[in-house]
């Protein structure tokens, strides 16, 4: 295990100010134009913000997890999010970030559990959401907004309270904050039905930042910029933010997921982080464009995609293959790269397993995608594929980062030990003792070693299920393989306690509509389309084709097609776009019952 200097997260501002002062430390689109915030202006704003928080009675000398003041934030990604995070840290207080999509009952639980004093909200919608439950949170003193909202207290009133004496006090408090001090409590969904707060110190996150920088590597690159759109309240994007800040990489915030394509072309970033679901969406959009082509252009497009699907970064395809791929890159994939801004040198994906097919195709198209892995409890990165030769293997999450130890238990559970492992669960020593044993964090993820170097995630321990015949089935690899089909948008494998494995399938409706039109089958509504015998037959052929990749117990025997996509709004997806299996099982019980209605015949 290597050791690196320990930092407080707010040291990133001083580091950048001394070594690589920038004009675009942060940037956002405001009233139709990109506004940049220099390192010097961010430093001044954050220090004045901290001073104003001290005037409000936030922070001070009690640095214990229970005693430190808690400040919450519920907002989209924007510079003010980072201002707030840094300013709160510098007072010794603790930031409690929440997803904007969190339901009111969970928000109220978190605000009360953490005894939150103040909360920062982004918009009128978020303001009204918090106002509606304010009476049930006795510790909450005030709500501040980032947007200018009539009747709301704007966040800028806080830095306006700064005085020279308070600014001196900020410097004194900053100097006394140890890297082991708690920086944030991030609440994650618990199996008990109530969220659990993961306590992460400055040292936890900053060590993950530094080890990730060394491992990937992220070089100090003041000329580079990235586009940020994954929720900042999730540890993945938060840690990556500090990688960017300590690397002097400018951070530009996308307006929304809907404007992502436009923002990529405007910013022309060097890289970004994402989750597999969004990569899948990008690929589906590309394939829809391909399906709309005709003649030679269409044949050329699908020839290029087929060629890319065979790409292996570690094994040369030979001179003829490489020549063809070079032609495909010039004629077809160059347009893909242009759509992403034309400057991408890395995309890091995490949060869920990425389809191997997508990794092959994007990397063949000279759009480097690197898959990584890690839970909130490890700040979060455990593994990531590398940019150096031999450092990436498709279908794995890469080698462990430097500075930590990783081992697999007898049942394959991935365990990690090192300075990145959380302080514990807030107010839950019982859960902490179950999860961290002798310093080893038990992740609940099952994996295997590949080539004695890379880790491949095979499933979540709690998602493995047993059929009535006593055979275990791991749903994730099956689902990822089936999602390679252009017919399938989403899929959830089921079968706990049943004689065979089944599946709920959400069709890729744009592709299904295109296929039906080619077959001269009228497409009216999604519900009517999936009920048609010709469509059911087409999906049976897909099932039969992909079942060949699995053993008998893993093969899907029966399925039901779903009329609507699963979403965050519908409650089936988490904010990081992972499937909520328990919710789907309950919500679509009748569809699952239909799969198994004649299983004992």
Six-digit token string for 374:
């890690």
pLDDT at 470: 84
Q: In terms of DSSP H, where are the helices of 92-201? A: 104-113, 124-131, 164-176
Question: Cα–Cα distance between 183 and 181 in angstroms, integer?
Answer: 6
Q: Could you tell me the two tokens for 382?
A: 């455990």
Tokens of 402: 């430097």
Domains 11-23+35-201 and 271-342+344-461 share a fold: yes
CATH number of 271-342+344-461: 3.40.50.12780
Q: Which helix (H) or strand (E) holds 72?
A: strand 70-74
Q: Are 122 and 76 in contact (CB under 8 A)?
A: yes
Tokens of 267: 């910013």
Q: Which tens digits make up the pLDDT trace of 320-330?
A: 999 999 999 99
Tokens of 310: 């065979």
Q: What is residue 601's predicted lDDT score, i.e. its pLDDT?
A: 59
Whole-number CA gyration radius for the chain: 25
Neighbouring residues of 561: CB distance < 8 A, sequence distance ≥ 6: 505, 506, 507, 530, 535, 536, 539
Are 366 and 338 in contact by the 8 Å Cβ rule? The answer is: no
Q: How many CB atoms lie within 10 A of CB 123?
A: 17
**Domain range 11-23+35-201, CATH class:** alpha beta
Burial-class residue 204 by CB neighbours within 10 Å (0-12, 13-18, 19+): buried
Are 504 and 560 spatial neighbours (Cβ–Cβ below 8 Å)?
A: yes
- Integer CA distances (angstroms), 563 to 475, 492, 515, 593, in order: 22, 14, 17, 17
Distance (Å, whole) CA 126 – CA 100: 7
Cβ distance 359 to 369 under 8 Å? yes
CA angle 282, 287, 288 (to 5 degrees): 95
- Other CB atoms closer than 10 Å to residue 320's CB: what's the count? 8
560: β partners: 504
Q: How far is residue 459's CA from residue 447's CA, in Å, rounded to a whole number?
A: 7
Neighbours of 32 (CB within 10 A): 6
Tokens of 160: 């306006």
Q: Is 118 helix (H, G, I), strand (E, B) or coil?
A: strand
pLDDT of residue 191: 40
Show the low-confidence residues of the chain (pLDDT under 50).
1, 190-192
Which sequence spans correspond to the domains of the chain? Answer: 11-23+35-201, 271-342+344-461, 464-595
Q: Which residues of 259-301 form beta strands (DSSP E)?
A: 271-274
415 DSSP β-pair partners = 407, 442
Which one, of 239, 236, 255, lies nearest residue 247 by Cα? Answer: 239
Structure tokens at 305: 């995609």
Contact by Cβ (8 Å): 455, 530: no
CATH superfamily for domain 464-595: ANL, C-terminal domain (3.30.300.30)
**pLDDT value at position 192?**
46
Beta strands 440-450 and 454-460, pairing class: antiparallel
């Amino acid at each position: 295990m290597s050791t690196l200097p320990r930092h407080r997260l707010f040291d990133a501002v001083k580091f950048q100010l001394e070594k690589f002062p920038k004009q675009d430390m942060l940037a956002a689109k405001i009233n139709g134009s990109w506004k940049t915030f220099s390192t010097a202006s961010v430093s001044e704003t954050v220090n004045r913000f901290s001073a104003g928080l001290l005037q409000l009675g936030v922070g001070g000398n009690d640095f214990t997890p229970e005693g430190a003041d808690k400040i919450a934030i519920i907002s989209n990604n924007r510079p003010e999010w980072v201002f707030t995070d840094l300013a709160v840290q510098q007072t010794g207080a603790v930031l409690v970030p929440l997803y904007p999509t969190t339901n009111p009952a969970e928000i109220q639980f978190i605000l009360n559990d953490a005894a939150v004093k103040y909360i920062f909200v982004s918009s009128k919608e978020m303001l009204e959401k918090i106002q509606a439950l304010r009476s049930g949170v006795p510790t909450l003193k005030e709500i501040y907004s980032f947007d200018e909202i009539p009747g709301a207290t704007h966040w800028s009133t806080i830095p306006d309270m700064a005085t020279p004496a308070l600014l001196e006090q900020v410097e004194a408090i900053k100097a006394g904050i140890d890297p082991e001090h708690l920086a944030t409590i991030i609440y994650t969904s618990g199996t008990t039905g109530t969220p659990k707060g993961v306590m992460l110190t400055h040292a936890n996150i900053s060590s993950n930042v530094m080890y990730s920088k060394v491992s990937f590597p992220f070089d100090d690159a003041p000329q580079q910029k990235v586009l940020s759109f994954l929720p900042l309240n999730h540890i993945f994007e938060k840690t990556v933010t500090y990688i960017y800040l300590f690397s002097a990489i400018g951070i530009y915030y996308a307006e929304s997921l809907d404007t992502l394509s436009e923002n990529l072309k405007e910013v022309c970033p060097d890289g970004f982080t994402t989750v597999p679901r969004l990569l899948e969406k990008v690929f589906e959009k590309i394939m829809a464009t391909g399906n709309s082509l005709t003649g030679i252009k269409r044949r050329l497009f699908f020839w290029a995609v087929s060629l890319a699907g065979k790409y292996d970064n570690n094994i040369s395809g030979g001179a003829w293959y490489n020549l063809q791929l070079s032609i495909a890159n010039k004629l077809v994939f160059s347009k893909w790269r242009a759509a992403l801004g034309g400057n991408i040198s890395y995309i890091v994906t995490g949060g869920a397993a990425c389809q191997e097919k997508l990794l092959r195709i994007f990397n063949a198209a000279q759009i480097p995608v690197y898959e990584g892995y890690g839970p909130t409890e490890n700040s979060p990165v455990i593994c990531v594929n590398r940019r150096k030769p031999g450092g990436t293997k498709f279908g794995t999450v890469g080698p462990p980062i430097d500075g930590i130890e990783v081992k697999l238990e007898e049942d394959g559970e991935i365990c990690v030990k090192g300075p990145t492992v959380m302080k514990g669960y807030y107010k839950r020593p019982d859960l902490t003792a179950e999860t961290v044993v002798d310093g080893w964090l038990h992740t609940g993820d099952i994996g295997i070693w590949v080539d004695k170097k890379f880790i491949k995630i095979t499933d979540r321990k709690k998602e493995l299920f047993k059929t009535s015949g006593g055979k275990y089935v791991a749903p994730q690899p099956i689902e990822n393989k089936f999602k390679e089909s252009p017919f399938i948008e989403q899929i959830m494998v089921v079968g706990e306690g049943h004689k065979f494995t089944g599946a709920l399938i959400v069709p890729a409706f744009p592709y299904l509509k295109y296929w039906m039109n080619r077959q001269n089958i009228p497409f009216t509504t999604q519900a009517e389309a999936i009920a048609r015998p010709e469509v059911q037959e087409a999906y049976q052929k897909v099932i039969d084709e992909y079942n060949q990749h699995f053993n008998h117990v893993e093969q899907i025997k029966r399925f039901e097609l779903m009329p609507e996509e699963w979403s965050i709004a519908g409650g089936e997806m988490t904010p990081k776009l992972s499937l909520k299996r328990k919710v789907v099982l309950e919500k679509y019980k009748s569809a699952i019952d239909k799969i198994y209605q004649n299983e004992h015949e």
